[in-house]
Structures are given as C-alpha cells and as structure tokens.
Amino acid sequence: MSKTRYSAFKVVKEALTGHKGWEPTWRDAEPKADGYDVIIVGGGGHGLSTAYYLAKNHGITNVAVLEKGWIGGGNVGRNTTIIRSNYLLPGNEPFYELSMQLWENLEQDLNYNAMVSQRGIMNLIHSDAQRDAFIRRGNAMLFADAGCEYIEAKEVKERYPFLDMDNPRFPIKAALAQPRGGTVRHDAVAWGYARGASDLGVDIIQNCEVTGFNIENGKCLGVQTSKGEIKAGRVAVCVAGSSGRVMAKAGIKLPIESHVLQAFVTEGLKPVMDNVITFGAGHFYCSQSDKGGLVFGGDIDGYNTYAQRGNLPVVEDVCSGGMAIMPSIGRARLLRMWGGIMDMSMDGSPFIDSTEVEELFFNGGWCYGGFKATPASGYCYAHLLATNHSHEVASAYKLDRFRRGAIIDEKGVGAQPNLH
C-alpha cells in the first residue's frame, strides 16, 4: 500500500503541520492503452466495492471502474443510509446477513471511518396479522443468525416516548427489532471503497461514460466510452437506475423498470431518536443522522422515470405517515428532498449473474435496497467475475429465474415493479 494510514495520530500531526501531508483519497486515472482484465461499468457503491473485493479477495488488480460522472454520485450518495439483514426469504436472508457481517468489519478493513452505526432498526406492529408475519420473519432472521428482538408495546413506549402508541388507526401493539441494523455515512462508503481499491491498483476513471459495447460473435471485448475505446477481458455492468439504458447498448432487455424514490431530511435537531423506526403500515421510516437531521422516506412515486425528481403526492403521503406515528415532527422542517432512480425488478430482488453475451456480466435490480447490500454485492459479484460461479449466498440472483419461476418476492405483490 502506498497510502498513509488514517488515525487520530495522523490527524493531530497534520493539524500541527498545516494539513500538507494529505494525499488524494483515490488516484484519478486515465484509461490504459492495452485495456484491463476487468472493466466495471459504474462507479457507485456496488461498482467500487466489486473492484475492491476483486483486488483484495481474488488478486485481480488490472481493473478499471468507469464512472460517467463523479464516483458515488448515484444511489450510494442519495439514500436513507439504512443497513439491515431482516429479510424473510431464504434466497435473500443469507446474502443480506453476509452484507451485515461485512459492514461490521468494514472500517477496520478499509481504514476509513464510514460511521457504521449499529443503532438498531425497529419495525412497528399494529395488528395480529402483522404480528404473525413479523414473527415468521423474525424466526427466519434467527435461523440465519441475523439476530432479532421482539419488543412488547409497553417497552416500545418506554424506549420511544415520542411515538403515538394509541393512534386510533395504528395502535402500536409490539415491534420487531434487529439490534444489529443501523445506519452508515453513505458517501463515505463510496470513498472508502474507492480508496481501498485504488490502493490495490484499481484505476478509477471519472467522467468516462460508456457509450457502447464491443461485441463480436456474442462475446464482449471491451467498451466504447467518452474517453475512447477500452479493451477488457471481462465487462461487469453495475449501474443501478441506468441498468436498462446501459444494457440496451448490448442489446439486452431486462426484467427491470426504472422508478424514482424520494427521500427527505429535516433541518438539524438535537438528538430525537437513536435508532431506525419503520412504520410499514403508514409507508414511513425514519432515523436521525449524526448531524441531527431526521432522515426519512416511504414509497416510490410509482411511475417509470429516469428524471431524478419526484412529485408532491408522495411527499405528502410520507409526511403524513410521519405525523401519524411521530406527531412531534410536525414542527421539524423538511430541508431537502431528493429523488434517486431505482432499478426495480419484477420480484423486488436483485440479479448478480452472467448474461447471454459472453464476458458481459450484470449486477442490478436492487430496487430501493441497494445501499445495505453494497459490501455483499461487491463481494459476490467479484466472486462471480473471478471464479465464474455464483457465490452461494447470491446463487438465487439469476437473470433467468422468472423463466423458471424461481421468484424471490418478499412482499408477495407479483411482477409489478412499482409495488415492491
């Protein structure tokens, strides 16, 4: 490693010497003339983590990450920062649990403080039917060693006095929590992986848009970009909301629609809540950032779009969900709202797979759950790229699963992306 280690000592030393010793967090590279073993298209969280694990776990370092804008500018830079592994179905739960374990060691691994904070995530229960469904989920979590805690109403009230326990529509009857869930400083994840990958020799190339794929006889030989053609042994696409547009350049249609998800943050406030609270019945979830903003969100707007902005009906729905369950937030002011493009798949679960084009791989369909998956997604994608085999926890994430009927539908709403 060429890089100085980050530490409190280094911070103090630099403070005393005018901060002259800080180097760029990652190397800004230009494309190599003779190409790469692997080109990763997309410099978001998943692309950067894929590059990092390719280099670290598999020793494949002749790798480039191509980003059309600035790294971390997609959903890793625009989300509600939540991590959790509280999934129901066996196709998902072990994958997200691997992700959680990677989060738990991320900072020491990367020597970068991404503020992984296991402050706990709590789902509220309002009815007997919901309780039964959450008990089923809780057991799935415990079977997968993800941990969970069932909290009776009385204790919910003691811990979170600001919740409206007796809301006439949604009285809180209990809660199911995952104490290991929590939040992470989202941008720092991209930067930390970029730094880690760059240190191991990966080229991170910004402002380099992929405009086409060089495909001959069903085999991908490289990419055309705004910085010229780049040869590659293998091309791994990892572009989330742009999946449809990018894969279309390779002539591949996907079981994916692009939708906008809005998220919201209030002005900074002194500590209000220390965990993540999810009010599924009211389409609202909320946590508080270290800076003090309440970060919250709800449902996707519900129509196909690539415009990174939403509309008022969902804003109002989400805020009323908040008022229903936390009526003290009425006087908190909404500071920013933003919209990110979600690659909504047909069953709400992702893909990490090879494609019909040889040497062209695809990772996408993360819906609005991609952030928490960042480490495991990169880990498993790197595994596939390096070994040609799916990692065991990602073995359900095949592109042909709908043809076979191997659906992984956590919500049970069927092949309609805007309902997932």
Partner 1 sequence: MIINHPLLGPRDSEEFVYLGSTDLINRPTNWEDEASAEDFYQYQYIRENVAGDHKELWYHEQGDQSWLVVTRNTLTHEITNVELAQDVSRAMGRGK
Partner 2 sequence: MSQINRKDGGLINKDKTITFTFNGHILRGYEGDTLASALLANDKHLVGRSFKYHRPRGIVTVGSEEPNAIMEIGSGAYKEPNTRATVTQLYNGLEANSQNHRGPLGFDLMAITDFFSPMLGAGFYYKTFMWPKAFWEKIYEPAIRNSAGLGTLAKQPDPDTYDKGFRYCDILIIGAGASGLSAALTAASSGAKVILADEDFLMGGRLNSETAKIDGISGSEWAKNAVDKLSAMDNVTLMADTTIFGVYDHGIYGALENRSSESREDSKKPRQVNWRIYAKRSILCAGAIERSIAFGNNDRPGIMLAGAVRSYMNRFAVATGQKVTVYTNNDDGWQTAKDLRAKGVKVVAVIDSRSISPVMGIQGAEIFMGTDVIDTKGRRRLKSIKLSNGRTIDTDSLAVSGGWNPNLHLTCHHRGIPKWNEDIASFVPDDKAPPGMSVAGRAKGTMVLNDAIKEGHDLGSSVAQDLGYKASDLEPATTPSVAYNIVANWGVPSGKNRAWVDFQNDVTAKDVKLANQEGFKSVEHVKRYTTLGMATDQGKTANVLGIGIMAENMGQTMEETGTTIFRPPYSPVAVGAFAGRRRGMEFYPTRYTPSHKWSEEQGAVFVEVGMWYRSQWFPQPGETHWRQSVDREVIQTRSSVGICDVTTLGKIDIKGSDVSEFLNKVYVNAFAKLPVGKTRYGLMLREDGMAMDDGTTARLAEDHFVMTTTTANAVSVYRHLQFCHQVLWPDLDVHMISVTEQYAQYAVAGPNSRKLLEKIVDPEHDISNEGFPFMAAAEISVCGGVPARLFRISFSGELAYEIAVPTRYGDSLMRVMMEAGKEFNVVPYGTEALGVMRIEKGHAAGPELNGQTSAYDLGMGGMVSGKKDFIGYKLGLREELQRSDRMQMVGFKPVNKGDLVDKGHSMAGAHLLGLRDEPTTENDQGWISSSIYSPMLGCYIGLGFIKDGLNRKGEFVRAVDLVRGSDIEVEICSPHFYDPEGGRLRE
Amino acid present at 145: D
Structure tokens at 283: 């389409």
Residue 306 is a binding residue for partner 2 (CB under 8 A) = no
What is residue 302's three-state secondary structure?
A: strand
Residue 73 is a binding residue for partner 2 (CB under 8 A) = yes
Q: Give the burial class of 228: count Cβ atoms within 10 A of its Cβ; 0-12 exposed, 13-18 middle, 19 or more buried.
A: exposed
Beta bridge partners, 150, equal 176
Cα-flanking dihedrals φ and ψ of residue 224, to 5°? Answer: -95, 135
Binding residue for partner 2, selected from 70, 154, 245, 251, defined by CB under 8 A: 70
| Residues 380-419 as x/- pattern, contact with partner 1 by CB under 8 A | ----------------------xx-----------xxxx-
Which of partner 1, partner 2, none does residue 22 bind to, with CB < 5 to 8 Å depending on kind?
A: partner 2
326-355 positions binding partner 2, by CB under 8 A? 327-338
Are 153 and 172 spatial neighbours (Cβ–Cβ below 8 Å)?
Answer: yes
Are 50 and 363 spatial neighbours (Cβ–Cβ below 8 Å)?
Answer: yes
Interface with partner 2 by CB under 8 A: which range of 219-227, 349-357, 367-375, 402-410? 402-410
Residue 392 is a binding residue for partner 2 (CB under 8 A) = no
Which of partner 2, partner 1, none does residue 33 bind to, with CB < 5 to 8 Å depending on kind?
A: none
Residue 154 is a binding residue for partner 2 (CB under 8 A) = no
Q: In 3D, which of 387, 44, 42 has the Cα closest to residue 193?
A: 44
Residue 338 is a binding residue for partner 1 (CB under 8 A) = no
Q: In 3D, which of 266, 264, 271 has the Cα closest to residue 330?
A: 266
What is the signed CA dihedral for 233, 238, 243, 248, rounded to 10 degrees? 0
Which of partner 2, partner 1, none does residue 10 bind to, with CB < 5 to 8 Å depending on kind?
A: partner 2
Which of partner 1, partner 2, none does residue 327 bind to, with CB < 5 to 8 Å depending on kind?
A: partner 2
What is the signed CA dihedral for 296, 302, 303, 307, rounded to 10 degrees? 0
Residue 346 is a binding residue for partner 1 (CB under 8 A) = yes
Which of partner 2, partner 1, none does residue 69 bind to, with CB < 5 to 8 Å depending on kind?
A: partner 2
Amino acid present at 409: D
Binding residue for partner 2, selected from 30, 32, 57, 90, defined by CB under 8 A: 90
Look up residue 4 and give its DSSP letter.
Answer: P
Which of partner 1, partner 2, none does residue 217 bind to, with CB < 5 to 8 Å depending on kind?
A: none
Residue 403 is a binding residue for partner 2 (CB under 8 A) = yes
Are 260 and 223 spatial neighbours (Cβ–Cβ below 8 Å)?
Answer: no
Binding residue for partner 1, selected from 181, 302, 339, 350, defined by CB under 8 A: 302
Structure tokens at 51: 């590059």
Residue 327 is a binding residue for partner 1 (CB under 8 A) = no
As measured in angstroms, the least distance from the Cβ of 313 to partner 1 is 5
CA atoms within 13 A on the CB side of 221: 7
Which residues in this chain contact partner 1 in the complex, by CB under 8 A? 243-245, 248, 253-258, 302-307, 311, 313, 346, 402-403, 415-418
